[in-house]
Amino acid sequence: MSFQRLLAVARKEVIQLRRDPRSLILAFILPLILVVLFGYAISWDITNIQTAVLDRDNSQLSRKLIDAFRATGYFRIGPTLESEAEIRPLLQRGEAQIVLVIPPDFSDLISSAERGGGPPAPVQAVVDGSDANTATVILNYARGVMRSFSQRVILEGSGVQPPLRSDTRVWYNEELESRNMIVPGLVAVIMMIIAAMLTSLTIAREWERGTMEQLASTPVTRLEVVLGKLLPYLAIGMIDVASTSVLGVLLFDVPFRGNPALLMVLSFFFLLGSLGLGMFISARSRSQLLATQVAMIATFLPAFLLSGFMFAIEVMPRALRAFTYLIPARYFVVVTRGIFLKGVGIPVLHVQGLLMVLYAVIGLAAAVASFKKELR
């Protein structure tokens, strides 16, 4: 392999990029836009739960229960209902996500239960289950509030101190903010998409513009062509990883506890494999439009849905869980989240690092094997 010929191919690709401002916008601006867009749009935090109350007891204890829901900060107490007939229209219009129904003998039942002479007081929670995930979270919040309220009532009635005290410590994401988990994952998903899309146009562009004949007549080898074309995009990708990471830290206050050098080294191998995948698609399709479409399908959907970024891999069906091992973004998501939030290093990420090195080798080998200088 000639280093001089390699640099000549890389220089040719840089000149081509300078003449194509749309590719430069795609390369530098689009990743930042996607981080901002998805960073604000995607959130798993469920707050401001619209709550209606049908309080038939209207006692001091029932008002304390309502205040307990309000004090959590998750429930936003809204309208007070007069009858059960108002519940269904309220949920149908989406004006409430949960309705608390307190029975008329609520305080009497609690007093009787404290004396050991009666059943516990029932409180009904009617939840809008059209969004199953949200409904499940709301029910868990409501059960937690009821459990805490019951314990407090029992302790106040007995006048004793609780025998156990729970001290909770949250590590790595102390504020339990979903954006701290989303933004590092976004870096992995976006770079998977952008890297493959950038190089998916390189060889296809040569075929469509008729310059492949000139390239084929030169003494450059297939490896020199592939590496020469990859080098400019590899530099762009490294800049994008750094810029999106800095933007996530500055704009979304995401903690960065790890080693930046380790992130860049592992990003290098991940980008190398993704760029090789894009060039493989470009060489096989020979059409810029088709290459772009195939690159989007091959990277966006798997990286977004099957990498563990949006959905936990553990809850997927067994067949899909096995398929996720073939998704490189799965390993890079673990790397970015581990370095950002936990500050872990090679002792923890060595498996993911080795798999991304393997991904880089396979991506480059596929790109070299698919590129043919022969004109057909």
Domain coordinates in residue numbering, the chain: 3-43+177-370, 49-158
Contacts of 152 (CB under 8 A, 6+ apart): none
Average pLDDT, stretch 108-127?
80
Alpha carbon distance, N-terminus to C-terminus of the chain: 25
Among residues 252, 192, 250, 197, the alpha carbon closest in space to that of 38 is found at 252
pLDDT digits (tens, 9 = 90+) for 57-105: 888 888 999 999 999 889 999 888 999 999 999 999 989 999 999 999 8
Q: Name 50's bridge partners.
A: 76
Distances (CA, A) of 320 to 177, 269, 302, 313, 317: 28, 25, 11, 8, 5
Question: Cα(237)–Cα(230) distance, rounded to whole angstroms?
Answer: 10
Q: Is the pLDDT of residue 184 over 60?
A: yes
Alpha-carbon distance of 94 to 96, in angstroms, equals 5
pLDDT in tens, 345-374: 999 999 999 999 999 999 999 988 887 755
- Are 238 and 271 in contact, with CB atoms under 8 Å apart? yes
The CATH architecture one would assign to domain 49-158 is 3-Layer(aba) Sandwich (3.40)
CA–CA separation, 41 vs 6, rounded Å? 42
Spatial CB neighbours of 8, under 8 Å, sequence gap ≥ 6: 220, 228
Q: Which of 27, 8, 332, 330 is nearest to 200 (CA)?
A: 27
pLDDT score of 298 more than 80: yes
> pLDDT-derived band of residue 242, with 50, 70 and 90 as boundaries?
very high
Please tell me the predicted confidence (pLDDT) of residue 115: 67
